[in-house]
Amino acid sequence: MKKNLGFTLVESLVATTVLILAVTGAFSAAQTGITASTYARDQVIAFYLAQEGVEYIRNVRDTNALQSQPWLNNLSLCVVDVNAGLLNVCTVDVPNNSIIWCNSDGDFNSCPFVQKDPTSGFYGYNLGNSSYDTIFRREMQVTPINQHEVSVLVQITWKRGNVDRIFQARENIFDWQTRT
């Protein structure tokens, strides 16, 4: 008589369990990698949107200096005036070279979603019929520190799944053209 012609039921169950654990581990590692790469991509986009907002404000300041205008000219939609109770929030539309006022009570998440033009890759607002809303909002406030310095706060918010994400960038900008 021949003995041990096949696997026993217990051996088959153990082998199946080991195989399932190996495959599940690999899929779990792949899912973690995909999630991490998505989060990293979103953070990079948020960083660049925030930096673009700061650079736009700096550009307005420099343009005002070149045109011999007050250094905060054209930024009134973003400037916080605590004495008057105005906590303005704005956003910038760089491709269209404009500032969009969102509200005057300091409430972030009141600005519209940033749009992306798939043809040019530009982010902005009112980019044309082929543009679509992204998951990002860009809100900005310019807070005077003294008559020659302001603090620019740019907040990028987005939601991925059920998780709210926030990226903030703050930079102080000076009236470098003032001669005292």
Query: Is residue 180 pLDDT above 60, yes or no?
Result: no
The pLDDT score that the predictor gives to residue 18 is 87
The pLDDT score that the predictor gives to residue 10 is 81
Higher pLDDT, 153 or 23: 153
Query: Is residue 179 pLDDT above 60, yes or no?
Result: no
**Cβ pair 145, 163 in contact under 8 A:** no
Q: How far apart are CA 102 and CA 82, in angstroms?
A: 17
- SS3 assignment, position 113: strand
Residue type, 176: W
Q: What is the mean pLDDT of the chain?
A: 87
The pLDDT score that the predictor gives to residue 109 is 72
What are the angstrom distances between the C-alpha of 60 and each of 17, 35, 117?
A: 64, 38, 24
**Cβ pair 105, 87 in contact under 8 A:** yes
The pLDDT score that the predictor gives to residue 172 is 95
Q: How far apart are CA 164 and CA 70, in angstroms?
A: 38
Stretch 142-168: mean pLDDT, rounded? 92
Higher pLDDT, 34 or 73: 73
Segment 78-114, tens digit of pLDDT: 888 777 766 788 999 999 899 998 875 656 678 899 9
